[in-house]
Structure 1
Amino acid sequence: MSQKIYFGTENKFSVKRSALNVVTRLHHLLIPSHAKKMGRKLLLTPVRTKPKNTEPNGLIKSKLTSTEGTLSLYKLGQGPIWVLAHGWSGNSSQFYPLMEYIASKGFTAIAFDHPAHGESEGKHAHLPAFIEGLNAVLDSCDEVAGVIAHSMGTSAVLECRHYQLEQTPLLLIAPVLNYTENLFSSIERSGYSMKLFTAIVGDIEEQYQRTIDSFNPYQRLQQRETQTIIVHDKEDRFSSFELSKAAAEHIEQVILYPTIGLGHGRVMASEEAKKAFDELSKSN
């Protein structure tokens, strides 16, 4: 259900959205604890999508223990390590074509399923859980040559404070650079009670000791000193191409490789993504 809320793009009046607003506000007023429980189930449960691509030959699967439960890892190739992080309701199989390309160039590609995604453990997910999962993967790697991320995975990468990311180049595909604004506008657009949503967020903030207002991927990108290439489709309906364009225009170390007609997902296997990897791996 959360996929429809976060990725819904309809702005016109809807009876269903109005009904959702009334029901969730009343539920929160009358039975707040149960309302939050049901809200976590509705808003924090990603869709476990089926694999998008055929497993490449030589793919090695393994498990990794993290604070968010056991994560599923997928490794291909030999050489310097590139870590790949998918987005909300995605999974590592979306990266298989790009992983094959990375491996063919003499590198190791390591993808992983975020908590509550793919074959990893967990029922609920959110940005702090994404970050903790990424921390565990980075801890397991001796040295990381670069990182590739898609959609909400880009927010996790930019907000992650792991030392392995300090000097590594980044390839951001269809990034969500306005995470907090995008999240709240999506919930508001859905009709869900904002007061109830704020209460659910408050519990997460308390658990991870970080406020949602502290998340600002665009600002984090501005603060980085190493090269970043953004690959973004001009017709992306789910994350802002214009914000990626602005980042490339105003942040010295950011370059934009635009695509057209590939949308939010297919861009992950684009020729532009491969070219961006070639550029970053050579500079590194």
Structure 2
Amino acid sequence: MDLALSTAGAAVRGAGRLSPRGGAAIALPLFGHVARPRPVHGGDRSTMEGARRSVVRVPGLDRRGADVSTYEWGHGSEVVVLAHGWNGRASQFATLVRELVSEGWRVVAFDAPAHGETPGRGTYLIDWIDALAELQRRHGRIHAVVGHSFGGLAALVAVGAGVQADRVVTIAAPADADLLLTQFQAMLGYDDRTAAALRRRFAARYFPGESDPFARLSALRRPLPASALLLAVHDEGDRVVPFGELARLRDAHPHASMLATQGFGHNRVLTADPVLDAVVDFLAQPSAVTLPGAAVRAAV
């Protein structure tokens, strides 16, 4: 644990011992805080430089409005939208972008608020969902949404809530927002009373008037509609999002295609050849590709 995280955890724990509500008040802005954007990898620069750029307007975390940077490649009639994860950026999909464009799709990606080239200091899942909704309004019905990690959960929630997409691909995705709260608690080490207070404060702040907003931030409690096909990919050695999330998604989507890999971890899985091949095949087939229990190991 680095010094800043250790200090933040101590502040939340100390305040929480005196008042769970006080601890939650300190924790909430930390929950939505984003680290400085990661740089674009050298091998991805040419792909990003070749993108057609624009923005979509979303309400933003503070609901004052935010301009989200978007990128577009290719000229196909069917659109594939890519959603990066927390502390990620659109450029992480550069390898997949090249694969999809070569197969004839038009590809669209975005940098969520406080990520990549989109300014800001904080964000949360609703910004991803709003960005996906705006892109669907701009481009019409989407052939597929491909989401990595946090972006995978956003894809599931957005399409489950009505964003029109025929297919969803998740790569290393959590199954619901509850996992994120649990991981945040484990990271900062505060007690269950503060955790409960944070949950209430989060709901009141971002979803006022909703009795249980976490129901709609869950691909388990609100699975994808039957019209949307799902391919879920996860690596057994993922140290960021537990591999067990793949089974949770399978249980909620019994007809989905599943791909378990080994040796690629949380981020390298995005450029792994077996994953790229599976995604392209899934998007190209007229019906779902059946990969029940499929497992792929990284070459050593």
Q: TM over 0.5: same fold? A: yes
2:295 is aligned to none
1:42 to 17, 23, 30: 30
* CA–CA distance in structure 1, aligned partners of residues 231 and 141 of structure 2: 21
Is 1:51 the counterpart of 2:43? The answer is no
Moved more, 170-179 or 54-63: 54-63
By percentage of residues, which structure has more helix? 1
Taking a change above 3 Å as real, the CA distance of residues 207 and 78 of structure 1, as seen in their structure-2 partners, is farther
2:156 is paired with a residue whose SS is helix
Identical amino acids, percent of aligned pairs: 23
2:170 is aligned to 172
1:9 is aligned to none
* CA–CA distance in structure 2, aligned partners of residues 187 and 163 of structure 1: 28
* CA–CA distance in structure 2, aligned partners of residues 283 and 35 of structure 1: 47
* CA–CA distance in structure 1, aligned partners of residues 219 and 280 of structure 2: 24
Correspondences of 1:158-237 after superposition (within 5 Å): 158-160=156-158, 161-165=161-165, 168-180=166-178, 182-189=179-186, 190-192=188-190, 193-201=194-202, 202-206=204-208, 211-221=213-223, 223-237=225-239
Shift of 1:25: 1.5
Runs of 5+ consecutive residues of structure 2 not aligned to the other structure: 61-65, 287-300
TM normalised by structure 2 equals: 0.78
Shift of 1:46: 1.4
* CA–CA distance in structure 2, aligned partners of residues 205 and 259 of structure 1: 36
**Cα deviations across residues 134-178 of structure 1 (Å, max 9, x unaligned)?**
21122111332111001111111111123413xx11111111113
1:22 is aligned to 13
**Cα deviations across residues 194-215 of structure 1 (Å, max 9, x unaligned)?**
2552353021121888622442
**Cα RMSD (Å) of the superposition?**
3.0
1:54 is paired with a residue whose SS is helix
1:132 is paired with a residue whose SS is helix
Shift of 1:245: 3.5
Kept in 2: contact 1:17–1:191 (CA 8 A): no
1:145 is paired with a residue whose SS is strand
Aligned residue pair count: 268
2:88 is aligned to 90
Moved more, 194-203 or 262-271: 194-203
Shift of 1:264: 0.8
Runs of 5+ consecutive residues of structure 1 not aligned to the other structure: 6-14
Shift of 1:122: 3.2
* CA–CA distance in structure 1, aligned partners of residues 9 and 163 of structure 2: 46
* CA–CA distance in structure 1, aligned partners of residues 183 and 275 of structure 2: 27
TM normalised by structure 1 equals: 0.82
Kept in 2: contact 1:130–1:153 (CA 8 A): yes
